Amino acid sequence: MAANGMIKIDQNLCKACELCINVCPDNAIKLSSSLNHKGYHPAEFVSERCKACALCAIVCPEIAIEVYRDR
């Protein structure tokens, strides 16, 4: 039923605010353990369960997230 989706996070734009993590209904995002060049642990996409709802992109203050859907 739910669309199959994925997101791309521009890790160098991410400031690790965790807002995307907080809104994702599918827990598809978490903070990476590595640091980006701003010194943040950026968010990374970790799940196959993404339904491309775009909630993460809507809240992301850095426009770091692009959302893709298979149809």
Partner 1 sequence: MKKVYTKPKSLKDAPFHYCPGCGHSIIHRLVAEVIDELGIRDKVIGIPPAGCAVLAYNYFDVDMCESAHGRGCAVGTGFKRAQPDKIIFTYQGDGDMAAIGTAETLHAANRGECITSIFVNNAVYGMTGGQMAPTTMLGQKTTTSPMGRRPDVEGYPLMITDIIATLKGAAFVARHSLATPAKILAAKRSIKKAFEVQMQGLGYSLVECLSPCPTNWKVTPVEAFKLLETRMEKEFPLGILKDVTKKAKG
Partner 2 sequence: MLTKTVMSGIGGQGVLFSGICLAWAAMKEKWEVTYLPSYGAEMRGGVASCTIAISDEEIASPVSSSPDYLVIMDNLSLLRLQNLCASGGEIFINTSLVTERPLRGDIELVELPVTDVAEENMGLRYANMVMLGAFIERTHLVKLSTIIENMGEILGKEKAKFRDKNIEALKVGSRLISKEL
Site for partner 2, rule CB under 8 A? 15, 35, 37-39
Smallest gap, in angstroms, from Cβ of residue 35 to partner 1? 14
Residue type, 12: N
What is the residue whose two structure tokens read 């426009």? Answer: 63
3-state helix, strand, coil in the chain (%, to 5): 15, 25, 65
Distance CA 67, CA 65 (A): 6
50 to 69: interface string for partner 1, x by CB under 8 A: --x-xx-xxxxxxx-xxxxx
Q: Where do contacts with ligand SF4 occur on this chain (CB under 6 A)? A: 5, 7, 9, 14-20, 23-26, 28-29, 42-43, 50-56, 59-62, 64-65, 67
